[in-house]
Amino acid sequence: MLFKKNKHQRLIPEKVAGNSCFSWLAFSYKYFAITLTFNKIFAIRLQFHIDLELRLRFMIPIYNQNNSLSNCRLGENIVKTLTDCYELSSGVKIPCIGFGTWQAKNGDMAVSSVKEALKCGYRHIDTAAGYGNEESVGIAVKESGVAREDIFITSKLQNDMHGYENTMEAFKQTMKNLDMDYLDLYLIHWPNPVKYRDQWQEANAGTWKAFEELHKAGLIRAIGVSNFQPHHFDALMQTAAIQPMVNQIRLCPGDTQDNVVDYCRKHSILLEAYSPLGVGRIFEVPQMQSLAQKYGKSIAQICVRWSLERGYLPLPKSITPERIRENADVFDFRISPEDVQTIAGLKGCCGYSADPDTITW
């Protein structure tokens, strides 16, 4: 469009240079309409397409601090439903039983099991980049009809993506896979993967810096670790500004990792219990069969309840609808302190956790 100067020496479009009041009005209206449309398109794009860089630069928080998880109550042993929560050291609330998804294959298997879990009332889903099923978790959440803010989603950083830059990349990919714009909990999956064996401390320091920035930017509600032992925490805390809020470790009958548990309790780090059914091995243990008879519950229910009695947050996994329901039906009984001890003492009945400093992955 060509411009001309008017009598006040201002540049105006040639079309309205005739000074007719109507031409001015018509031009202003057209310009206003175009601007409005542009703003609308821009706003929609901003709303629906995550621009991580932009959000990071301007620190735009995405999640609502007062998320609507209902009936949140504090503390161990008082949880009474799947939506009752533990509270992390940062104040974030986390539903007391998580639904495990390791080995639930991406596609129908993962989508249908996560949807079934949400239908049964689970409000906490545990996935990981390494499980290859983040995409299915995202689809299941959308198709479930449960509001995103009512579900707690955890994912984990894969082992070959440690360090600051890699972590930022990996997080972006995880959010794309899930097709979500914030994560509830992000964990370092393993402290000392084989790729970083010579420099795991520096790699974790870089990763943690990225975690802290993503948390401060409002993209992750809580940050934590998995498979960490006290010496991994001590190394991390040399440079960390925020202490990990969660440690997800293998905790099941006979594998109680007492030194890690003591450390985490002392530092108010919530313990999540992975493989709470010993990856299925618990069903062969005779002592568990008699305990199941004694309480009139299944072995799986005894294991999940035992985790809660110990103050852990269990993450049972199943792809079988009846088992998914069964594993959540644990709020109508208690296990006596003596039996809690007996179960803890079944040393090695389901094997032991891998040593995080010698793993080959």
Which of the residues are catalytic?
Answer: 131
CB of 99 to ligand NAP, least distance (A): 8
CB of 59 to ligand NAP, least distance (A): 29
CB of 52 to ligand NAP, least distance (A): 25
Looking at beta carbons only, is 201 or 227 nearer to ligand NAP? 227
Map the footprint of ligand NAP across residues 124-153, applying CB under 6 A.
126
Looking at beta carbons only, is 219 or 303 nearer to ligand NAP? 303
Q: Is 274 in the site for ligand NAP (CB under 6 A)?
A: yes
Q: Measured at the alpha carbon of residue 106, what is the angle toward residues 102 and 109, in degrees to the nearest 5?
A: 85
CB of 138 to ligand NAP, least distance (A): 16
Per-residue b/e over 246-278, b at no fewer than 16 CB within 10 Å? Answer: bbbbbbbbbbbbeebbebbeeeebbbbbbbbbb
Which helix (DSSP H) or strand (DSSP E) does residue 183 occupy?
strand 183-188
Quick check: 221 and 182 in contact, CB under 8 A? yes
Binding mask of the shown chain, residues 163 to 202, with x at each position contacting ligand NAP by CB under 6 A: --------------------------x-------------
Q: Is 277 in the site for ligand NAP (CB under 6 A)?
A: yes
Q: Is 226 in the site for ligand NAP (CB under 6 A)?
A: yes
Q: Which two tokens stand for residue 201?
A: 């401390």
- Which residue in this structure is represented by tokens 């992955």? 361
Q: Binding residue for ligand NAP (CB under 6 A) from 137, 275, 302, 312?
A: 275
Q: Is 276 in the site for ligand NAP (CB under 6 A)?
A: yes
Q: Is 280 in the site for ligand NAP (CB under 6 A)?
A: yes
Binding mask of the shown chain, residues 86 to 115, with x at each position contacting ligand NAP by CB under 6 A: --------------xxxx------------
Q: Which two tokens stand for residue 214?
A: 């993503």
Q: To the nearest 10°, report the CA torsion of 39, 40, 43, 49.
A: -120
CB of 307 to ligand NAP, least distance (A): 10
Instruction: Tell me the C-alpha distance between 300 and 314, whole Å.
Output: 11
Looking at beta carbons only, is 173 or 298 nearer to ligand NAP? 298
Looking at beta carbons only, is 201 or 226 nearer to ligand NAP? 226
Number of residues engaging ligand NAP in binding (CB under 6 A)? 28
Residue 83: C-alpha distances to residues 315, 340, 351 (Å): 14, 24, 31
Q: Measured at the alpha carbon of residue 133, what is the angle toward residues 91 and 84, in degrees to the nearest 5?
A: 30
CB of 283 to ligand NAP, least distance (A): 6
Map the footprint of ligand NAP across residues 307-346, applying CB under 6 A.
315-320, 323, 326-327
CB of 104 to ligand NAP, least distance (A): 7
Encoded amino acid at 214, one letter: L
Looking at beta carbons only, is 254 or 316 nearer to ligand NAP? 316
Instruction: Tell me the C-alpha distance between 249 and 113, whole Å.
Output: 23
For residue 84, count other CB atoms closer than 10 A to its CB.
22
Residue 185: C-alpha distances to residues 125, 189, 192 (Å): 10, 12, 20
From 84-92, 165-173, 177-185, 270-278, span contacting ligand NAP (CB under 6 A) = 270-278
Environment class of 106 (CB within 10 Å of its CB; exposed 0-12, middle 13-18, buried 19+): middle
Q: Which residues bind ligand NAP (CB under 6 A)?
A: 100-103, 126, 189, 226-227, 248, 274-280, 283, 298, 300, 315-320, 323, 326-327
